[in-house]
Structure 1
Amino acid sequence: MKHYQIAVLAYPHSLLSAVYGFAETFELATEACTEIGLEVRITTHILYEADLLNKQATQQPYHAVLLPPSLEKASYSEKNASINDFLIAQHRQGAMLCSACAGAFFLAYTGITDKRLMTTHWALEGLFKEHFPKQAMDTSKILINQGDVISAGGMMSWVDLAMELVQALMNVNIVRQLGKTLVVDTGKREQRYYQQFQPNFDHGDAAILAVQHHLQGHFAELQRTESMAALAKLTPRTFLRRFSKCTGFNPNEYLQRLRIQAACDKLEETTQPFESIALEVGYEDVGSCRKAFQKIMGLTPSAFRQRFVSSITAN
């Protein structure tokens, strides 16, 4: 009989639906194993911050330690010493460290993830990079399993994380059974399907901000580097350097993101065929727009519309 001990850290302002959702998912998985005679069990321990001061709780070795999402920035924007020490100690004893959404911040504070690729909620990417500029990130992914470190992306990605652990500790058949019981999709998906382009306007560079505001209203028009530099009252070379520093993109990439986001909005809000949407958002060649759309969103335009607007017939 294999019996796994999993700790879920219910840190201040953590998402309780995820905290208890982890425990209930693992309980259902254990029941499913019992029904088919698979000798694997999972016991979940919900640990609060006060528990981390208890030597007995902290010294017990866990197979995995889970960090759920949070709705409160203050809960993860600074290192928590007791959580940090606990995570490092558990990892030294062989525990897998796992995060969902904002839980990634706690893992990154430990330094253990420095050479691991991680993900977090796409909307937290900017803040995460401010805190951990050298951390390798890919927020297009819902889940990244690095063996001893597993990170999951969006607010509800705790479900993906729970299923990943069930598959790792039990087997894929139990995951399929759970999917049917809970009525959740256990197929592979990516976070970029849900990602929205949110430009950074809070960088303090007035010259670049003026160009960004111009592009918001004129992204469908031809934009040349020289004209944007002139609008910013900078030389082209200085403009390119400062624009990339402030936005994280060169002007062409930034413009492409604006256009593809506009295309996403129109696919969701209208019944227009993609051909007319492509022209409307600034692409002369529909094929180029389709290619850029799939590269950025990870879905074809028709698959995107079908996924998010089930009441509209895809074009």
Structure 2
Amino acid sequence: MKHISILVFNEAVPASIVDPRYMFTAINQFLQEAGEEPAFNVQLIGLKKEIPLHNGVFYVHTDALITDTPATDLIIIPALSGDIYAALEANKAMIPWIVEQYRQGAEVASLCIGAFLLAATGLLNGKKCSTHWLFANEFRTLFPDVTLTDGSIVTDEQGLYSSGGANSYWNLLLHLVEKYTSRTMAIKASKFFAIEIDRKSQSPFIMFNGQKKHEDEPIKQAQEFIEKNVTEKISIEDLAVKFAIGRRHFERRFKKATNNTPSEYIQRVKIEAAKKQLENTRKNVNEVMYDVGYADTKAFRTIFKKVTGLSPVEYRNKYNKEMMMA
């Protein structure tokens, strides 16, 4: 039987504590109904017996303290809420225990922006990780030695697991269920919890918001120029000249400041504008394409699918209410 330790700490999102517990205890029930032994011993673990969440709106009673848990098989790190820096500081006392358990053979899974606490252990250095797309720039700034995989739902590397944003953690829980029990149990759980199994990407949900939390003012101005001239064909050479920076130096500074090359940034801005039109207007794909400065249908469709994981038509049909009702 696998011992699962779900961490409970200040600034944790309550659902990301309750949901894993529900998932693994439900699997035990499914197994018992099939005449098999339960697979998991699930415990809520913390530094104290009673832990307040959301400024005392919720209280969680832990099953055991970290100091009373010398060994476990899987640690679940729930999502953080509130100020990330404050949350990391408030919960740093958990880090040595997580590291020790991993070195003893335990696996560790972070849910959504719980990835920040996992990364703070140093265990992810040189490895891949997923987190909520909205916090990607902040994550890269804090943990430059970790490779953040844009848009991924689940990463699995050397006993360290992470999930994409918000409800994506249900897919990580299914991944763990399949690993520890069977594909059959994972499918049953996906049907019981109404989760689309094997979902690979959070790309359709990503809303691009260029990283502007930097001090390079000319680059910030270049970003704003790109965003205000989405219909225009903008070259990197034109931008470098406009802001009086040599092209190679401009490209290096832009990448350092925004985590995107200028070309990537231009593409992402244009695709974000196209997404909004496909969501909210009755324009056809070609009209939208021209509105955001593309003239090559094949290139537009290729880039759109690369960014969102869907073709323009698929995206419009998914998110445009008028099209869904047509």
Fold conserved (TM > 0.5)? yes
Q: How many percent identity over aligned positions?
A: 25
Question: Bigger CA drift: 237-246 or 28-37?
Answer: 237-246
**2 CA distance for matches of 1:244 and 1:6?**
41
Q: Aligned pair in 2 of structure 1 residues 301, 57: CA closer, same or farther (>3 Å)? A: farther
Shift of 1:56: 4.8
Residues 91-126 of structure 1: CA deviation (Å, up to 9, x unaligned): 122111000111112221222222321111111111
Which residue number in structure 2 is paired with residue 176 of structure 1?
187
Please tell me whether the aligned partners of residues 236 and 247 of structure 2 are also in contact (alpha carbons under 8 angstroms): yes
| 1:101-112 alignment, distance < 5 Å | 101-112=112-123
Pick one of 302, 305, 311 that aligns with 2:316: 305
Which residue number in structure 1 is paired with residue 45 of structure 2?
47
**2:22 corresponds to which letter in structure 1?**
E
Please tell me whether the aligned partners of residues 171 and 198 of structure 2 are also in contact (alpha carbons under 8 angstroms): no
Please tell me whether the aligned partners of residues 220 and 281 of structure 1 are also in contact (alpha carbons under 8 angstroms): yes
**1 CA distance for matches of 2:100 and 2:248?**
49
Give 5+ residue unaligned stretches, structure 1. Answer: none
* SS of residue in 2 equivalent to 1:141: coil
Please tell me whether the aligned partners of residues 99 and 150 of structure 1 are also in contact (alpha carbons under 8 angstroms): yes
Which residue number in structure 2 is paired with residue 134 of structure 1?
145
Give 5+ residue unaligned stretches, structure 2. Answer: 50-61
Which residue number in structure 1 is paired with residue 16 of structure 2?
18
Q: Aligned pair in 2 of structure 1 residues 36, 55: CA closer, same or farther (>3 Å)? A: closer
**1:68 corresponds to which letter in structure 2?**
P
Q: Aligned pair in 2 of structure 1 residues 7, 75: CA closer, same or farther (>3 Å)? A: farther
Shift of 1:313: 4.2
**1 CA distance for matches of 2:238 and 2:67?**
66
Shift of 1:79: 7.9
Please tell me whether the aligned partners of residues 207 and 233 of structure 1 are also in contact (alpha carbons under 8 angstroms): no
Please tell me whether the aligned partners of residues 16 and 111 of structure 2 are also in contact (alpha carbons under 8 angstroms): no
Please tell me whether the aligned partners of residues 79 and 106 of structure 1 are also in contact (alpha carbons under 8 angstroms): no
| 1:79-228 alignment, distance < 5 Å | 80-228=91-239
Please tell me whether the aligned partners of residues 126 and 145 of structure 2 are also in contact (alpha carbons under 8 angstroms): no
Shift of 1:240: 2.4
Q: Aligned pair in 2 of structure 1 residues 142, 55: CA closer, same or farther (>3 Å)? A: closer
**1 CA distance for matches of 2:213 and 2:228?**
18
**2:31 corresponds to which letter in structure 1?**
C
Shift of 1:170: 1.3
Pick one of 66, 73, 78 that aligns with 2:76: 66
**1 CA distance for matches of 2:224 and 2:118?**
36
TM-score by length of 1: 0.91
TM-score by length of 2: 0.88
Which residue number in structure 2 is paired with residue 266 of structure 1?
277
Q: Aligned pair in 2 of structure 1 residues 79, 110: CA closer, same or farther (>3 Å)? A: farther
**2 CA distance for matches of 1:193 and 1:32?**
33
* SS of residue in 2 equivalent to 1:26: helix
**1 CA distance for matches of 2:128 and 2:41?**
28
Structure 1 stretches of 4+ moved >6 Å: none
**1 CA distance for matches of 2:112 and 2:211?**
20
